[in-house]
């Protein structure tokens, strides 16, 4: 049953009691998707008349829930069949905690649960418990709980506090950054996506699953809101579980909601349980087969995903660098990667793809590209001519590459130059083997002079005579 005598927890301080078990928050950390179909939804309170249901788990045959024992202490563990019938009640071990075990986890053989007073293994055959370790420091409370088999460790979090992962015997306890969630209560390991689903008391209603990538220590951006369950007017997240053997052909998320007026256990469809297939390995990317150092080139790749998921692409440029993941793009759509090589050589460009569930294809066949040096220009100053009021110079690019932004100057030294002693300008482009003509400003003066023309790094000088308005070379 959902209660409302809540006192907010202070982040970073140990909790001496659990009056904030039903902490109410309204912070949403990502945009939730439309809720999945609810496949199972049953009253998890009336059959035992206790209030304060907390954790939930599926052991491959039965549901388990943890609950504080207020009516008939001590705290309880309840075992339910898939139809919601209560089939067994077990006492939790005696402990000082006012709430007892919170979320539950299953490693394929045993169930586990913890509190601020220790961590226990539970035999699903008869409900007997074994204390694994009593001192949980530096953790203050084992609330949310998920078993990650690839690491052989449990992950735990509590509301907005920092997270931890630990071995079953507690010999190794390692801090894990909280990715920004403020009301964590349950966790469940997804063996298809190799991620953890975090059941958080945010959203509307306050039952939101956020997917967490424990490899990158970040939320994936995928989330689901559990809709209001049967007969409830309010609900907040409790413990959580994930299963592929609960409902035939389905991968599901499930858990406990602490509700008004009753606590309920639910199972929600997540996806088909068939193993997610990665995208088809792309063909070799298309693009140029030759190029020059310092020039950017585009390459195009595409493939399809068997489930029609969006696809991201990574290009390997053959020089030790890659594009990182680009996208996502719709299945079958083209993706473009661009790159600039900084050294001469032969490079093999390849690409791979991954779907929305991070399932990766193999690398494609390679597309070879030969990178050579960029053809260089060579500027020469050819004819310098005089005439009425002006001097002209012909500039030629005798190199193999285009010259750009060529600065030029015409300068007169000696004599009495009244006007036009220096002229400057810039030629935007002189293509290979092409010429350009530059012209000075108006020149007035008298006497012998030297005309010096500079273009880029090239220079040329000629003797001339200025006769007021006429320049004789």
Q: Consecutive sets of 10 residues in the chain, 473 residues long: mean pLDDT of each?
A: 34 31 31 65 94 96 95 94 97 94 97 97 97 97 97 97 98 97 97 94 96 95 94 97 93 95 94 81 96 93 93 97 96 96 96 91 95 88 95 93 93 94 95 94 95 95 95 94
The pLDDT, as a whole number, for residue 409 is 97
Q: pLDDT at position 400, please?
A: 79
Could you please state the CATH topology (level 3) that the domain comprising 38-272 is classified under.
Neuraminidase (2.120.10)
Asked if 104 and 57 touch (Cβ cutoff 8 Å), the reply is yes
C-alpha angle 30-32-38 in degrees, rounded to nearest 5:
150
DSSP summary character for residue 360: B
Do domains 290-372 and 379-472 share one topology? The answer is yes
Q: What is the pLDDT of residue 2?
A: 44
**Alpha-carbon torsion angle 210, 213, 214, 218, nearest 10:** -80
Kindly indicate whether the domain formed by 379-472 is annotated with CATH number 3.40.190.10. Answer: no
The reported pLDDT for the residue numbered 70 is 86
Q: What are the C-alpha distances in Å from 109 to residues 124, 153, 166?
A: 8, 15, 18
| Residue ranges covered by each domain of the chain | 38-272, 290-372, 379-472
Residues 6+ apart with CB under 8 A from 39: 247, 250, 252, 267, 268, 269
Asked if 279 and 56 touch (Cβ cutoff 8 Å), the reply is no
> What separation in angstroms does the CA of 166 have from each of 111, 230, 456?
15, 36, 68
pLDDT for the residue numbered 276: 74
Among 84, 120, 123, 127, smallest CA distance to 103 is for: 120
Indicate the pTM of the whole model: 0.57
Alpha carbon distance 199, 57 (integer Å) = 13
Q: Tokens at residue 288, please? A: 């140029």
Which pLDDT score, from 0 to 100, does residue 275 have? 67
Fold of the domain spanning 290-372: Immunoglobulin-like (2.60.40)
Distances (CA, A) of 204 to 3, 32, 324, 356: 17, 10, 36, 25
Whole-angstrom distance, CA of residue 90 vs CA of residue 85: 15
How far apart are the C-alpha atoms of 200 and 190, rounded to whole Å? 16
Distance from the Cα of residue 427 to its chain's centroid: 47
């Amino acid at each position: 049953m959902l209660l409302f005598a809540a006192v907010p927890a202070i982040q970073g301080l140990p909790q001496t009691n659990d009056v904030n078990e039903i902490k109410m928050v309204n912070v949403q950390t990502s945009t939730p998707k439309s809720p999945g179909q609810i496949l199972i939804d049953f009253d998890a309170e009336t059959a035992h008349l206790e209030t304060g249901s907390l954790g939930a788990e599926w052991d491959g045959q039965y549901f388990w829930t943890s609950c504080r024992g207020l009516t008939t202490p001590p705290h309880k563990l309840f075992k339910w069949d898939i139809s919601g019938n209560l089939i067994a009640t077990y006492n939790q071990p005696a402990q000082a905690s006012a709430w007892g075990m919170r979320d539950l986890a299953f490693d394929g053989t045993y169930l586990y649960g913890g509190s601020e007073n220790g961590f226990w293994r539970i035999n699903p055959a008869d409900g007997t418990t074994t204390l694994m370790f009593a001192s949980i420091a530096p953790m203050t409370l084992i609330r949310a709980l998920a078993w990650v088999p690839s690491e052989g460790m449990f992950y735990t979090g509590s509301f907005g506090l920092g997270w931890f992962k630990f071995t079953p015997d507690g010999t190794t306890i390692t801090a894990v950054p909280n990715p920004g969630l403020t009301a964590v209560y349950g966790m469940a390991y997804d063996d298809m996506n190799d991620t953890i689903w975090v059941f958080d008391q945010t959203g509307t209603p306050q039952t939101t699953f956020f997917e967490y990538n424990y490899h990158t220590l970040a939320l994936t951006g995928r989330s689901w809101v559990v809709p209001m369950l049967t007969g409830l007017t309010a609900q907040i997240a409790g413990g959580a579980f994930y299963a592929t053997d609960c409902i035939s052909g389905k991968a599901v998320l499930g858990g406990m909601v602490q509700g008004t007026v009753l606590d309920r256990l639910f199972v929600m469809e997540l996806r088909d349980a068939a193993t997610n297939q990665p995208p088809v390995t792309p063909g070799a990317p298309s693009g140029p087969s030759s190029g020059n150092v310092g020039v950017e080139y585009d390459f195009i790749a595409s493939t399809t995903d068997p489930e029609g998921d969006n696809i991201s692409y990574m290009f390997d440029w053959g020089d030790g660098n890659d594009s990182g993941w680009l996208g996502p793009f719709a299945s079958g759509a083209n993706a473009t990667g661009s790159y600039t090589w900084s050294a001469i050589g032969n490079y093999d460009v390849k690409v791979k793809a991954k779907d929305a569930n991070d399932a990766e294809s193999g690398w494609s066949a390679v597309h070879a590209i030969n990178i050579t040096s960029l053809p260089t220009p060579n500027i020469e100053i050819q004819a310098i001519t005089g005439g009425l009021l002006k001097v002209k110079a012909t500039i030629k690019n005798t190199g193999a590459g285009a010259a750009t932004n060529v600065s030029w100057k015409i300068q007169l030294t000696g004599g009495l130059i009244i006007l036009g002693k220096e002229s400057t300008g810039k030629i935007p482009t002189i293509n290979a083997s092409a010429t350009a003509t530059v012209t000075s400003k108006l020149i007035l003066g008298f006497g012998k002079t030297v005309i010096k023309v500079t273009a880029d790094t090239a220079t040329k000088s000629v003797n001339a005579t200025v006769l007021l308005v006429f320049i004789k070379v």
